[in-house]
Structure 1
Amino acid sequence: MSVRILALVGSLRAGSHNRQLAEAAVKLAPEGAEVELFEGLADIPFYNEDIDVEGSVPAAAARLRAAAQDSDAFLFFSPEYNGTIPAVLKNAIDWLSRPYGAGAFGGKPVAVVGTAFGQFGGVWAQDETRKSVGIAGGQVLEDVKLSIPGSLTRFAETHPVDDAEIAAQLTEVVARLHGTVGAAQAA
């Protein structure tokens, strides 16, 4: 049985280095793991309980929830915007945390990685993402981290999948998520 990992990217830019990391995770997934890169976060309206009504949830939010329900784990790719989590990623977490007590995370394993131009690789945003998704019900793998600094220079001419060091680290992140799900399913 394959483990399905839903990848959510906090940057909407087509050439985003975090998107490239997610694409690399799709390619580097070990046997038995499938990383699905969710498309469409830009189409999801800001969370509002007035529009989160059974039978009339916006289609883009319903697609996100369905993809999340079908997944066994989550892999977040977070850049850092002004020292914190991008709004599009926080909005996805908000939609997935509802309905209260029955959100899509449901104790599923979550890892957060990313890259940013600064010298710390976006650790503040990644920490905020871990905090938010943990409160929303995800089982955050606190010891699974990958923060890559200097994205503009490091990936100026090299896709992350072609960077041997990053490819190895990202493969390990996906393998840890896969192993956590596998161990839970075996228990």
Structure 2
Amino acid sequence: MEAMAAAKPVIKIAALCGSLRKGSYNRGLLRTALELSRESISGIQMEYIDILPLPMLNTDLEVDGKYPPVIEAFRQKILEADSILFASPEYNYSVTAPLKNAIDWASRPPNVWADKAAAIISAGGGFGGGRSQYHLRQIGIYLDLHFINKPEFFLSAFQPPAKFDGDGNLIDPASKQKIKEVLLALQAFTLRLQDYIFSVLF
């Protein structure tokens, strides 16, 4: 059994946060996910991809089929990833402008989101960012992103007891365990999707 586990392929996960705020709780969720991927889950290589440097979408910046270097670098990171983990705060019942901007840049021809597995985690008030998750899933249909259905992770961040410390780090053990379950489900689904695509193509 140990030999079989050691042979499990390593998948690359690109982690994106829809909030640009340093103390963002959603960014705190991603820090927990990165920590879990390093310390307690084998077969995952996760990288946080910063969307702050991306300019607002403007097709005038596309010249002779080329994008500005910062956009090219971002698109390459998404292309190289096997799957995507979104931390998606909710603004006005939807995804944030920075996240939508990043999504749109990577969807420009050729669409580098296509045929990748994805998962969403979110923290916020009330519904815990749930409406943004449902909107993001809808956007993913056109992008050919394939989201895991379960487990879902919505964290109501402002109800006691405290879920985060003063620096925005997740301190709630139950929530950490749920994020681990999301990562394991994303890992398993990514491998199944890759096997399916390979069988169809070859």
Superposition TM-score, scaled by structure 1 size: 0.89
Aligned residue for 1:174?
183
Aligned residue for 1:32?
43
* Structure 1 position 115 matched with structure 2 position 123: yes
Aligned residue for 2:54?
44
* Among candidates 18, 21, 35, match of residue 13 of structure 1: 21
Deviation at 1:91, TM superposition (A): 0.7
Is the 1:17–1:151 contact (alpha carbons within 8 Å) kept by the matching residues of 2? no
Count the aligned residue pairs. Answer: 182
Q: Percent same amino acid among aligned pairs?
A: 31
CA distance in 1, matches of 2:62, 2:147: 26
RMSD: 1.8
What are the residue-to-residue correspondences of 1:42-121 with 2, within 5 Å?
42-54=52-64, 56-99=66-109, 102-116=110-124, 118-121=125-128
CA distance in 2, matches of 1:109, 1:54: 31
Superposition TM-score, scaled by structure 2 size: 0.83
1:53–1:127 Cα change, 3 Å: farther
**Unmatched runs of 5 consecutive residues or more in structure 1:** none
CA distance in 1, matches of 2:27, 2:112: 23
CA distance in 1, matches of 2:58, 2:112: 17
* Structure 1 position 137 matched with structure 2 position 144: yes
Following TM superposition, the consecutive aligned residue runs of length 4 or more in structure 1 with deviations greater than 6 angstroms are none
Which structure would you say has the larger Rg?
2
CA distance in 1, matches of 2:158, 2:59: 37
1:31–1:151 Cα change, 3 Å: farther
**Unmatched runs of 5 consecutive residues or more in structure 2:** 1-8, 197-202
Is the 2:150–2:185 contact (alpha carbons within 8 Å) kept by the matching residues of 1? no
1:23–1:55 Cα change, 3 Å: same
Aligned residue for 2:6?
none
Is the 2:150–2:182 contact (alpha carbons within 8 Å) kept by the matching residues of 1? no
Structure 1 residue identity aligned to 2:182: V
* Structure 1 position 154 matched with structure 2 position 163: yes
Structure 2 residue identity aligned to 1:179: A
Aligned residue for 2:173?
164
